[in-house]
Structure 1
Amino acid sequence: MRAPLRSTAAAVAAAAIGIGVPVLAVPVAHAEELAPDLVISTLPAASPKPGDVYDNSVTVTNKGTAPAEGLTFRVRLTRGLDFPDQVAGCTYSTLADHVRQALCELDTVVQPGASITTPVRFKALPQALMEAVEYGTGRTGEAPGEGFDDSYRRLTLTADSTADLAAEGDLVEGAPGSRVTVTATLRNHGPGWVGNQDSDDQPALMVRIPEGTVAKEVPGDCAPFGIDGPTGPSEPGHARYVCWPAGHTIDVGQSLDYTFVLEIGKTARSTKGEVTASSVYGIHPAFGKNRANDTAYLAVDVTGGEEPGTSTAGGTTAGGDTDSGGAGTEGGGNDPHGQSTGGSGATGTTGATGATGTSGSTATSGSASTTSATSTASTTSGSGTGGTLASTGSDGVPLLAAGAVGATVLGGLVLVAVRRRDAAK
């Protein structure tokens, strides 16, 4: 009987000085929690042509232990897709980054082990190319969140179409030692828009700085280019750059201008660099079938840097030692791809005939204006008639999240005026 007394006394003493005494936990039996667990089947892959309607169905199965009473079924489409018609019970809206949404309430009960089938329908628009479709519900039948699981899925697809990315260059003039501003342009002639998060075909413009000049100011969305991709943050002083649009997205008819400030070397002669429509990794995108307008030039016509009797860029002058000289010529013209040729030369004679020197450079000038596709978040709601669910209607980022990091999923002959500007002193 003494041991229990000592144990009791110890407990009292411990409590008096604030030391806790361990208490053995007593197991408590809990009843099994019952809940629905919905799983949705996957949509088959497709490559629709613009104008085609995709018409398939998915099956929602309850693998849980309780009925799912009512389902909220959601479908989201990227900008090259749309719903062919509206169905009663569904609310339609347009979200950020041109994402179209159908939110449908299914007045049904799905018992454990049972399934229901619902259609997913959408059509490919003329600008369809790199698209994504999100579809499904929440695990217990509520509206889905922004991630993906077995109850809410994503299908990526590439429409049977193309996008024609074109490079446009510039032509400027300046004296040795001065600074000039050149603009390289990436333009999408369509017919498809480009918004690529899922492959290496992310649209970009490769820029090679003209020899004899140094890039002193560089756009923030242009990075130095190494062997097969960007090598670091934007900074001046490199020979090659790769520039790409925010979100790897460029809409049909959109132009993106990238402006560089170049310093002309003290001994530089007329020179040109190159701009090429490409991908971020320097490869030709598979969706681009027209290579004729992939390349253009950044030309710098160096003026006032040659002494009489010395050679000029593209030619030489041979002259005598007396006072007679001929005027040089300069001219230029545009070809259908925006290329311009120009020349300058000087002749000198003194009892012997001087050879005419010609300076030539070729450039492509891009449009000075930029058309930007802005994201709008407008919402329309309503319910149509007919059908059994959403007339609604690929693996990775949610459509809205892709727009936030900047979204998922893309003609003609243009005569481009050549720009000629004086050097910025």
Structure 2
Amino acid sequence: GVRPGTHPVAVLVVTAAAGGERGDSGAITVTGEAEGAAFTPFTARVTVGGPDLVMEELPFRTELVPGDRQQAPITFANRGAGDAEGVLLTLRYTRGLDIPQRYSNCRYSEDDPGPSGVGRTTALCTVEGAFEAGEAYTLATPLTIEATERAYRDTFLYRIEEAGSPRPAPAAFERGDGAVLRAVPVTGPQNRVAGRTADPTPHDNEREADFRTENTADFAAYGDRVSGARGATVTADVGFRNVGPAWIGHLRSGEDVAVVDFTVPRGASVVAKPDRCRAVTAAGEYREDQRSPAPRYLCPTSPAVHDGEGLDLPFALRIEEVLIGAEGEVTVRAPSARNPALPFDPAPANNTARLVLNAGDDGDGGPSTPPTSDPGP
């Protein structure tokens, strides 16, 4: 199926015809038809002998501690048979990294900034100039890459392409207010990437680096205390917070960071649960019936948990029997029950809290409000 919007459907491989000369051009027109759908034709012009931009890979230090800074002297070459009139430099980095400079010829936006999103920053920088075939270029002033206090596992992508190349515009962006980012020719023996290739190779326009920062994230569970008469329905708010300092993201695997494991107190049954939660048996095994009340629920996070964020999970409970001080358990753990420890969490003691129903004078469910990453004075 083809979804609405802009996305790849087919790849056309185009080569110069025998006898073709630099500057020769032609047009490729794409049309389509399907029952019940309308297509908008698209025409692209192809020219023989254009530029072929190649990004050089930088030798980053990838094992870091918070606060580490290093320079990124981004260097690229034009290995094609024609000059490039201006280039577009794309920088994309995840939540734990920062580039303190904000250039006036760059536009900045944050992708999926919500609590469960990775929160990547994208900078699109239009650099003016004629970038000649066979020459290499570097930034006039190297960028600075910083591992912030919330860094843990992060990525930095840097890409070069011709100015005016088709590129989805950020939904919301703002222009930097600093100096102009410029690129200058590489001189002397460092100009080692100059050369020519037979045809453009767009896969080498982009490089990406992975960073591992020595850091921790404290996942703190919270429970609740609720009361009600027999037959009443009450709402219990349970969950966890990432007290920080690091954000945690499984960028490559896309796996959930953690799961909240909630055991229902005796004397109560669940009549409504959050959509992300699934019912399991008392032993935590698969349960086919997801409609009727269950003794236990597993609620996974997304592949990213920001510092200061977590999961807030309201459960509607029906009081079937009034049992003073009946307790349920709320635990935030790794997705695998066989290896429940969170490897980044230095304080496992607060990974578990209690939900207490009809507590007596000594009833205590542990933290009954979400922990905060800012303890205050």
| Whole-angstrom CA distance in 2 between matches of 1:73 and 1:262 | 54
**Structure 1 residues 253 and 51 mapped into 2: Cα distance closer, same or farther (>3 Å)?**
same
Contact 2:94 2:155 in 1 (8 A): yes
Cα offset, 1:163, TM superposition: 1.0
1:126 counterpart = 2:149: yes
State the match for 1:50 in structure 2: 66
Who wins on radius of gyration, i.e. which is larger? 1
Structure-to-structure mapping, 1:266-305, within 5 angstroms? 266=321, 270-282=325-337, 283-301=340-358
Cα offset, 1:136, TM superposition: 0.9
**Structure 1 residues 192 and 157 mapped into 2: Cα distance closer, same or farther (>3 Å)?**
same
| Whole-angstrom CA distance in 2 between matches of 1:149 and 1:142 | 18
Contact 2:323 2:357 in 1 (8 A): no
Unpaired segments of 5 or more residues in structure 2? 1-16, 22-47, 114-118, 169-201
1:262 counterpart = 2:317: yes
Within the candidate set 181, 184, 188, 2:242 is matched to 188
1:210 partner amino acid:
P
Aligned alpha-carbon RMSD (Å): 3.8
State the match for 1:165 in structure 2: 219
1:91 partner amino acid:
C
- Of structures 1 and 2, the one scoring higher in RCO (CA 8 A, sep 6+) is 1
1:132 partner amino acid:
T
| Whole-angstrom CA distance in 1 between matches of 2:276 and 2:265 | 19
State the match for 1:103 in structure 2: 124
Aligned length: 289
2:349 partner amino acid:
A
| Whole-angstrom CA distance in 2 between matches of 1:37 and 1:123 | 31
**Structure 1 residues 105 and 126 mapped into 2: Cα distance closer, same or farther (>3 Å)?**
same
| Whole-angstrom CA distance in 2 between matches of 1:126 and 1:107 | 35
| Whole-angstrom CA distance in 2 between matches of 1:71 and 1:40 | 12
Cα offset, 1:170, TM superposition: 1.2
Decide which moves more: 174-183 or 156-165: 174-183
Structure-to-structure mapping, 1:15-414, within 5 angstroms? 31=20, 33-43=48-58, 44=60, 46-86=62-102, 90-96=105-111, 97=113, 99-118=120-139, 119-138=142-161, 140=162, 142=164, 145=167, 149-199=203-253, 200=255, 202-224=257-279, 237-245=293-301, 247-254=302-309, 256-266=311-321, 270-282=325-337, 283-301=340-358, 330-332=360-362, 340=364, 363-367=365-369, 411=373
Query: Where does structure 1 differ by over 6 angstroms across 4 or more consecutive aligned residues?
Result: 226-234
Q: TM (normalized to structure 1)?
A: 0.57
| Whole-angstrom CA distance in 1 between matches of 2:136 and 2:260 | 50
Cα offset, 1:257, TM superposition: 1.8
Contact 1:214 1:237 in 2 (8 A): yes
Cα offset, 1:171, TM superposition: 1.9
| Whole-angstrom CA distance in 1 between matches of 2:150 and 2:252 | 19
State the match for 1:376 in structure 2: none
Contact 1:209 1:273 in 2 (8 A): yes
Contact 1:82 1:123 in 2 (8 A): yes
**Structure 1 residues 211 and 77 mapped into 2: Cα distance closer, same or farther (>3 Å)?**
same
| Whole-angstrom CA distance in 1 between matches of 2:106 and 2:286 | 43
**Structure 1 residues 267 and 191 mapped into 2: Cα distance closer, same or farther (>3 Å)?**
closer
1:224 partner amino acid:
A
Higher strand share: 2
Map Cα deviations across residues 328-361 of structure 1 (whole Å, 9 max, x no partner).
xx4227xxxxxx2xxxxxxxxxxxxxxxxxxxxx
Cα offset, 1:168, TM superposition: 0.4
| Whole-angstrom CA distance in 1 between matches of 2:252 and 2:288 | 21
2:204 partner amino acid:
D
Map Cα deviations across residues 193-250 of structure 1 (whole Å, 9 max, x no partner).
23444344614322122244322100122233589999899755233323245x5444
Q: TM (normalized to structure 2)?
A: 0.63
| Whole-angstrom CA distance in 1 between matches of 2:166 and 2:287 | 39
2:62 partner amino acid:
A
| Whole-angstrom CA distance in 1 between matches of 2:324 and 2:230 | 8
Map Cα deviations across residues 253-290 of structure 1 (whole Å, 9 max, x no partner).
33532111123345867532211122444533322121
